[in-house]
């Protein structure tokens, strides 16, 4: 069984494959208002707050929002569909908690070309229904993405 916990609205679980081996981890949080979202996504300082992003979410921001805070599948287990499965489980958890929107800040992981890693992640999430939000300021290099659930 995957280790799973939901403390104070934060959901954290080890991701396992069908044989029960731990292959990665995923973390999310159900955010009920802007302050809550800001406390875990942290965009108020570099990104000028949530408002410039919220106005790009169509048709409207609906609370609660499910913030995806971390998703990692360990390198040797990638490209087997496990990341997609983990994301689907996060969506199911988010819907069960009443969320209609999933939101994330794209991570820059690993060594090598970090811009390439970021762009790969943007593509990966885009293929899974996420839309990229325009940065609120030119210095912001970690894009935010969202998708409707349902
Ligand atoms: C992003 C990440 C979670 C994806 O995990 P993953 O397990 O490789 O994801 P999937 O296997 O579901 O998808 C990867 C590709 O493999 C393909 N794939 C799925 N099952 C497959 C299989 N059995 N055989 C071969 N390829 C397969 C998928 O179709 C997908 O390609 P696509 O995006 O063109 O559709 C993983 O690369 C990772 O942990 N990266 C480092 C951490 C990180 O950057 N996280 C995101 C931070 S926001």
Mutate which of 69, 83, 127 for ligand 1? The one with the most ligand atoms within 8 Å of its CB, which is: 83
How much is the mean pLDDT over the chain? 87
Kindly state the average pLDDT of the residues 17-36: 94
- The answer to whether 26 and 86 are in contact (CB under 8 A) is yes
Confidence of residue 41 (pLDDT cuts 50, 70, 90): confident
What CATH class has 4-148? alpha beta
pLDDT value of position 1: 38
Q: How far is the CA of 141 from the centre of ligand 1 (A)?
A: 22
41 vs 44: CA distance, rounded Å: 9
| Arithmetic mean of pLDDT, 28-55 | 84
- Cβ < 6 A, ligand 1 pocket: 71-73, 78-84, 104, 106-107, 109, 121, 124, 127
What local confidence, expressed as pLDDT, does residue 3 receive?
47
Q: Which residue has the higher pLDDT, 91 or 116?
A: 91
| 35-51 mean pLDDT | 80
The average pLDDT across 72-98 equals 96
- Report d(CA 22, CA 14) in Å as an integer: 6
Whole-number pLDDT of residue 20: 95
């Amino acid at each position: 069984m995957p280790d799973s916990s939901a403390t104070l609205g934060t959901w954290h679980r080890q991701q396992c494959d069908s044989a029960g081996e731990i292959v990665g981890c995923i973390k999310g949080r159900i955010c009920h208002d802007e302050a809550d979202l800001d406390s875990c996504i942290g965009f108020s300082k570099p990104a000028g707050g949530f408002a410039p992003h919220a106005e790009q979410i169509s048709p409207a921001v609906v609370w609660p929002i499910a913030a995806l805070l971390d998703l990692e599948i360990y390198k040797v287990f990638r490209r087997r569909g496990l990341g997609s499965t983990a994301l689907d489980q996060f969506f199911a958890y988010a819907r069960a908690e009443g969320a209609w929107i999933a939101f994330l800040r794209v991570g820059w992981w690993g060594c090598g070309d970090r811009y390439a890693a970021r762009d790969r992640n943007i593509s990966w999430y885009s293929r899974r229904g996420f839309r990229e939000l325009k940065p609120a300021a030119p210095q912001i290099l970690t894009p935010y993405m969202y998708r409707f659930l349902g």
